[in-house]
Amino acid sequence: MAAKKSIFDVLAGLPVLRLLNLRGHSRVLPEALEEQLASTGNEKDHLAAAKLYQNKAQELEAEAVEFETAASKIGPYEDSKGFRRGGLMTAAQEKRHRAKQMQELHAAHLEKAQALHKTAQSE
pLDDT digits (tens, 9 = 90+) for 49-96: 999 999 999 999 999 999 999 999 999 899 899 899 999 999 999 999
Whether 66 maps to a domain, the answer reads yes
**Mean pLDDT rounded to a whole number for the chain:** 82
Could you list the residue range(s) of the whole structural domain that residue 77 is in?
7-122
Q: Is residue 2 part of a domain?
A: no
Residue 52 belongs to some domain of the structure:
yes
Residue 2 · residue 78 · CB < 8 Å: yes
Assess if residue 1 is contained within a domain: no
pTM of the model: 0.73
Domain count, the chain: 1
Q: How far apart are CA 91 and CA 123, in angstroms?
A: 48
How crowded is residue 70: how many other Cβ atoms within 10 Å of its Cβ? 19
- The overall longest dimension of the chain from CA atoms, in Å, is 75
